[in-house]
Each structure stands twice: as C-alpha cells, then as structure tokens.
Amino acid sequence: MVIDDNRLAALHNEAVTGNPRAARELGRLLCLLPDGAGGEAWPLRHWPGEPWLRAALTARPRDAEAAVLLAGVLAQQIEWSYLLGDPGSALARRQGEALHLYRGVLRADPEHPAARAGLDALRRPATALSGDSGYSYYRLEATLPDGSAARLITADPDELHWVAQPLPPGADLALTVHTPTDKPHTTVLPHGRLPHPPPAIPGPALPPGHPVRLVLDRAEVIAYYGFSLYPVR
C-alpha cells in the first residue's frame, strides 16, 4: 500500500479518537522514520512511534504486534544509550519493560517469532539469532552528508521508497536484499536513487518487530526492524 501524508493524517485522526488499531499502525509506520513531525533533535526523547504504540497497548493490552514493536523500540534505545556512552538509570527500566513485553506475548503464544527472537537478542546478544532467520527483507544503509549513518530494515517495497524520499541530497545509499536461501546481495545506488520497483523478495516476509542478525565489516550485530540512526564518530 502506498504511504503518503494523507494516509498518515487519516491514521492520526482515527488514533486520536481512540482507535487502537489505527494507533498501532501509525506507531509502526513512524518506527520507520528518523524523526517526529515536530522535528525533535537527535537523540529523540521518544521515538516517533513510541507514544502511539503505548496508546495501542493501553487500549488493547494483548495486542502482540504493538507489544513487540514497542519492545523493539526500547531495545533500540538501549543500544543507542551505549553508543552515546551514557547508559544512565533509564537503561535498566527500558530493559525490564522490553523483557516484560516479550514475555507477555510469549505467554499467550509461545511460538511467536518476533517475540522469541527479540527476547533472545536481549538476553543473549552474543549468540542470539545465530541461525538463518528464515525471512526475506530489505536493508537500506545510508551515509549522510554529516558523516552519520542510517539503516532501515523492512520487508515492504513501498515503505522502502517512502523512507528514502526525505533522506538528504548527497546521501550515499546501498540496498541489500536478504533471503533465506541466497547470500545477501548489495547494490550501491548512485545519486541516492532507489530502483523502482525495487528487487522482488520471496516470502515469507520479515514480520514487523522481528530483529535480525547481520555481518557488517566482519562483525556480527543485531539490527532492529525500522529505522536506526547512528551518530557521527
């Protein structure tokens, strides 16, 4: 489905009237963006999608998708706290809440793939997700003009294009297609232009909120669904 300002506005209008499904979808889409509508400076006090995912869970505490998406946001915040060299007292609170969310989903559905992978990544990051995830997805890497780096993990081609459009001119982009059966294939994109349409990916598609394990510069890292921005080093 094509994503544009009209769709976001419609979801927002439904979400503010108390529609939990609209709040969850708005929160999910905003997890794909680097900033909120108000243009807060990085690092954000709240990730753009966080308040809407919390609203969805408040209205429907058993919403598994909202729970794993929110837990993934908290896991990103934990990672960024370490990158900034300032874990602070909020680190334990975020970790505890993320663990609680994953465990709650698994109590209702012990085989929930995103919750199982997310819990594994939080509890055993050195060995988590060591095997093939079994899912297909896109990974867009961007080096921005200020030297910072950004990454998007999604399985949806429309979301891929939507996120790439507002990236600043001059960003160097590389698109990697991950599938369960083939080695990752990376294409460096001249002038920051994505192919339209992007390469098709076979199913099954990576579920929203599911983390993945990547090998980058010979180092293994856990990457989370959605958009991640890393500071200038």
pLDDT digits (tens, 9 = 90+) for 77-103: 888 777 666 666 677 888 899 999 999
Listed range (16-20, 21-25, 46-50) with the worst mean pLDDT: 46-50
Task: Identify the band that residue 39 occupies on the pLDDT scale cut at 50, 70 and 90.
Answer: very low
Phi, psi angle pair for 225, to nearest 5°: -50, 140
pTM: 0.89
Whole-angstrom distance, CA of residue 163 vs CA of residue 181: 27
Q: Is 70 exceeded by the pLDDT of residue 139? A: yes
Task: Identify the band that residue 64 occupies on the pLDDT scale cut at 50, 70 and 90.
Answer: very high
E-assigned strands of the chain?
137-143, 149-154, 172-178, 185-189, 212-216, 219-223, 226-230
Which residue has better confidence, 47 or 1? 47
Q: Do the beta carbons of residue 88 and residue 81 sit within 8 Å?
A: yes
H or E element at residue 176: strand 172-178
Neighbouring-strand partners of residue 219: 216
